[in-house]
Amino acid sequence: MIRFIVRRLLQLIPTLFGLSILLFIWLRRLPGGPETAILGERGTPEMRAAIRRNLGLDEPILIQYGRFVRRLIRLDLGTSISTKREVTTEFLQRFPGTVELTVTALVIAIGIGIPLGYLAARRRGRWLDHLSVGGSLIGICIPVFFLAYILKAIFSENLGLFPSSGRQDPTLGATRITNFFVLDGLMTREWDAAADALWHLILPGMALASIPLAIIVRITRASVLEVLNEDFVRTAEAKGLTENVVRRRHVLRNAMLPVATSIGLLTGGLLSGAVLTETVFAFSGIGAFLADSISQRDYPVLMGFIMIIAVVYVLVNLIVDLSYSLIDPRVRVR
């Protein structure tokens, strides 16, 4: 197990190296540049050249890339061109919000998707099966930003049940420790602040959970249907084992491997930034900030954020691979 973890972590080095080269080439091929975002269309050629010289963008691309790699080895991601703050500081300020939103969406998707997919498989061909399959198709087809606007219009603007924007009511004056607003409220025993932060997560979490929920329902249903036809399930039923024992020990456990894989991929995708959802709800996460950085050609932010997200993505999938041995002991033997 230790060798497996070390080997996967070592694979991260060439992955990041290749990603950094592709990112560097892609960003330099984008039309315009940070000088255009800073000066607009009225900047003179002399002013543009001065900004590029100050940012080191007038040097050969290999020299620029070498300077970036040296900083990356020192864990120095540079300074944002637009905000003049350290990229690491910007990331640590916004990533907790994305993590909270991702966890909320996953709790909704997993908490509803796995039971619904299992029940749909056990009642194949009945109304619940048809309803779950049809609902999952609708969940996949509806654009996230459209669903976000619908939820916001109904539950926030019309009914007034949920806040329409932000991560927390600023008038509460909540104490900040980790930038995880719910966790900070629990650590400082500011229960109102924790509840308010959680309340702000519900609507964007529901919108963000729509596609993962649909995918988990369909994969769980297909996986359970496959396992139900296995000989060991029929043998367990023939031995007189109760339905709960058959479901827990034989069906669900063997059906969870593909579900765990899909959850890992979905988690990595959600952590990379839910741009549309964060934009609709004015949620201060990394997705909306990355979108702004692309329009402003903020190269240090784009490079730094995407590199960190790549590391997080690999670590999430490593955790998923390790979970296989807990779900299915045969994986541990192999």
Q: What CA–CA distances, in Å, run from 293 to 163, 195, 250? A: 27, 31, 49
Instruction: Give me Rg for the CA atoms of the chain.
Output: 24
Q: In angstroms, how far is CA 160 from the centroid of its own chain?
A: 28
Q: How far is it, in rounded angstroms, from Cα 56 to Cα 59?
A: 6
- 296 with 37: CB under 8 angstroms? yes
Residues whose CB falls within 8 Å of the CB of residue 112, separated by 6 or more in sequence, listed in order: 213, 217
Per-residue confidence in pLDDT tens, the chain, 334 aa: 677 777 777 877 888 888 888 877 777 776 666 666 566 666 677 777 777 777 677 777 788 788 888 888 888 888 887 788 888 888 888 888 888 998 999 999 999 998 898 888 888 888 888 888 888 888 888 888 888 889 999 998 888 888 888 888 888 878 888 888 888 888 888 888 889 989 999 999 998 888 899 999 999 888 888 887 777 777 777 777 776 777 777 777 778 888 888 888 888 778 765 777 888 888 888 887 888 887 777 878 888 888 888 888 888 878 877 777 776 666 654 5
Q: Which residue has the tokens 């045969």?
A: 330
Domains of the chain: 95-282 (1.10.3720)
pTM, rounded to two decimals = 0.81
